[in-house]
Amino acid sequence: MAKSSEALRNPAQAGREFSAAAVKLAVLPPAHRLSLRAPESSVSALSKALGLALPNRPKTSAAKGSRMALWLGPDEWLVIDDGAKDPLEACSKVPALHSAVGISHRNVAFSVVGIDAANAINAGCPQDLSLDAFPVGACSRTILGKVEIVLLRTAEDQFRVECWRSFSDYVFTFLTEAARDAAA
């Protein structure tokens, strides 16, 4: 009799990739994720604990080391850390009023890289992704096709697309088609 049975776990969409002429898609490695809600009075204490200044302007993000904080709303951030330290632990030591919910496994992230990356995303995302309107570091919760995503521009020709894991197959397939179209 087996002593224990261990489920074989594969992250959603693990190993999928796609490469068109000017766009490359890849699944990003698993990361710690945190849905953070806090009033203005708690922001400085949380910033100190997280080791980065939580951005307070719409559509902006902050990054330090492996940790990123994305402004989603006036009192709402998505904190992502693909390093070893869970940002949830940092927040747990903050007495100031806040709500920190671990959502590491709720999301799957893709990278969209290449000179046509913005065009590929624009196939399903109605936002203005020109560098003037959506510069490097800009981030936003928005729409891709029929699902909600969080979009972050990590470089001029590079985006991180976060979506809920049950939509990840749809999002990757959508981006595959879009990347093919953008190359055509």
Partner 1 sequence: MLLIRCPYCEEERPELEFRNAGEAHVVRSSDMASISDEDFEKFFFIRNNPKGVIFERWRHVHGCARFFNAARDTVTDKFIVTYKAGMPKPDLDKITDAPSAVAATEPPAKKKPARRAPAKKKDA
The residues binding partner 1 (CB under 8 A) are 58-59, 72-74, 76, 126-127, 140-143, 148
What is the nearest approach in angstroms of partner 1 to the Cβ of residue 73? 4
- ∠ CA 134-78-173, nearest 5°, is 65
Choose between 15 and 73: whose C-beta lies nearer to partner 1: 73
Phi-psi region of 59 (alpha: psi -120 to 50; beta: other; left: phi over 0): left
Choose between 106 and 141: whose C-beta lies nearer to partner 1: 141
What is the nearest approach in angstroms of partner 1 to the Cβ of residue 153? 16
- Which 3 state secondary structure label does DSSP give 164? strand
Choose between 113 and 150: whose C-beta lies nearer to partner 1: 150
Gap between the terminal Cα atoms of the chain:
57
71's tokens: 């402004």
What is the nearest approach in angstroms of partner 1 to the Cβ of residue 69? 15
Nearest alpha carbon to residue 16 among 124, 175, 182:
175
What is the nearest approach in angstroms of partner 1 to the Cβ of residue 22? 24
Choose between 77 and 110: whose C-beta lies nearer to partner 1: 77
Alpha helices of 75-157 — where are they, by DSSP H? Answer: 87-92, 117-122
Choose between 74 and 95: whose C-beta lies nearer to partner 1: 74
Burial of 19 (0-12, 13-18, 19+ CB in 10 A): middle
What is the nearest approach in angstroms of partner 1 to the Cβ of residue 147? 9
